Amino acid sequence: MDLDLVFLGTSGSMPTPQRAPAATLLRRGGERLLFDCAEGTQRQLLRSEIGLVELREIFLTHYHADHYLGLPGMLKTFSLRGRELPLTVYGPPGLRELFGALRRIFGRLTYEVELVELRAGDVLERPEYDLVVFPVQHGVVAVGYALVELPRPGRFDVEAADRLGVGPGPERGALQRGEAVTLGDGTTVTPDAVLGPPRPGRKVVLSGDTAPAQSVRDAARGADLLVHEATFCEDERARARETDHSTAAEAAGVARAAEVALLALTHLSNRYIARDVPRPARAIFSDTVVPKDFDLIEVPFAERGPPRLVKGGAAHERRPEHVSAEVP
């Protein structure tokens, strides 16, 4: 099952010509989970190869304007297109109050919006993964999110199955699903006899805005990918403390302590040149990347290789205007 993250907005609180403010799309199989939705996110989607798809779930990390200002326009656009599919917006406590204020802007919609307030420690349990809500340290009510896949069944040992007399057919399928089977000769074969040890699922962690925090380290332990904010560089470490943000080096420290496979830095202040950011981080944690808008990171199962950054992987060639219509 494919899993990747598309970086739709990688700037800090202010946009730059090249970078929109915070928005990250997680794609897993057919699912599309949007994390944060800064001003301009609907157009970033339109400008990407993804298009402005009918998102079903949006997760907010906190309620600073640069993380939610794209919501009212996007909700309104969905409505203008006649959307009927319900949308669920998740976020820490304060979500209902925020929507009380935003409703004045987007008005009546053609579809239902369900608001779900989540607390740090909550876990959304889904068939194939848990979505873990963890605390961060940003001076306001704020959380991060970890998508933690459940372990997959172990590898099926064809030779062992042959040896035990389980030929190709429905019995192998049952064993793969974890069910014991009884053969024609009356012997029973249990799954552990033909399956290797369960294989770990993947883990992708998004810090949102935060100072370097033990809670993020804990949530990110052993992650395949940690997306961590890096608003500042070391010259502004004092300012990072004042504003409850992280420096690139501090984010790298979290990644190293958590022993993640790959660190992606985002939420860059426009005072830095993007090329200033990787060096101090890589000095501490070498597997660090600094995605640009429309870059994506593929997260394959561990046995298929490490996560990798694909430059411009979600950009499409500039389309001529006549193929851009997005109206249903």
Choice between 45 and 299, CB closer to a second copy: 45
d(CA 247, CA 237): 6
66 catalytic residue (yes or no) = yes
Question: Can you point out the beta strands (E) in the chain?
Answer: 3-9, 23-28, 31-35, 57-59, 87-91, 113-117, 123-125, 129-135, 143-149, 181-182, 188-189, 203-206, 225-229, 262-266, 288-289, 296-298, 308-310
Could you say whether residue 140 binds a second copy (CB under 8 A)? no
Bridge partner residues of 149 (DSSP): 129
Could you say whether residue 115 binds a second copy (CB under 8 A)? no
d(CA 100, CA 78): 19
Could you say whether residue 275 binds a second copy (CB under 8 A)? yes
Choice between 104 and 304, CB closer to a second copy: 104
Q: Which two three-digit tokens encode residue 52?
A: 């402005």
What SS3 state is found at 182?
Answer: strand
HSE of 147, CA atoms in CB hemisphere, 13 A: 23
**Per-residue binding letters, 32-51, with a second copy (x by CB under 8 A):** -------xx-xx--xx----
Question: What is the rounded radius of gyration, in angstroms, for the C-alpha atoms of the chain?
Answer: 22
Count the site residues for a second copy by CB under 8 A.
43
Q: Shortest Cβ distance from residue 293 to a second copy (Å)?
A: 11
From 170, 185, 304, 325, residue interacting with a second copy (rule: CB under 8 A): 325
Could you say whether residue 282 binds a second copy (CB under 8 A)? no
**Per-residue binding letters, 238-267, with a second copy (x by CB under 8 A):** ------------------------------
Q: Shortest Cβ distance from residue 219 to a second copy (Å)?
A: 29
Residues in contact with 14: Cβ distance below 8 Å, sequence separation at least 6, in sequence order: 21, 66, 269, 270
Q: Shortest Cβ distance from residue 292 to a second copy (Å)?
A: 8
Could you say whether residue 70 binds a second copy (CB under 8 A)? yes
Residues in contact with 72: Cβ distance below 8 Å, sequence separation at least 6, in sequence order: 102, 105, 106
Could you say whether residue 164 binds a second copy (CB under 8 A)? no
Could you say whether residue 176 binds a second copy (CB under 8 A)? no
Q: Count the neighbouring beta carbons within 10 Å of the beta carbon of residue 106.
A: 18
d(CA 275, CA 33): 29
Could you say whether residue 108 binds a second copy (CB under 8 A)? no
The stretches of 147-258 forming alpha helices (DSSP H) are 158-163, 170-176, 214-220, 237-243, 248-258
Could you say whether residue 20 binds a second copy (CB under 8 A)? yes
Q: Shortest Cβ distance from residue 62 to a second copy (Å)?
A: 14
From 273, 303, 304, 305, residue interacting with a second copy (rule: CB under 8 A): 273
Q: To 5 degrees, how large is the angle CA 293–CA 308–CA 135?
A: 70
Could you say whether residue 10 binds a second copy (CB under 8 A)? no
Q: Give me the catalytic one of 2, 4, 36, 66.
A: 66
Choice between 10 and 210, CB closer to a second copy: 10
From 17, 127, 184, 186, residue interacting with a second copy (rule: CB under 8 A): 17
From 27, 31, 76, 261, residue interacting with a second copy (rule: CB under 8 A): 76
From 25, 69, 219, 254, residue interacting with a second copy (rule: CB under 8 A): 69
d(CA 263, CA 254): 9
Contacts to a second copy by CB under 8 A: 13-18, 20-21, 39-40, 42-43, 46-47, 65-66, 69-70, 72-73, 76-77, 80-81, 101, 104-107, 270-275, 318-319, 321-322, 324-327
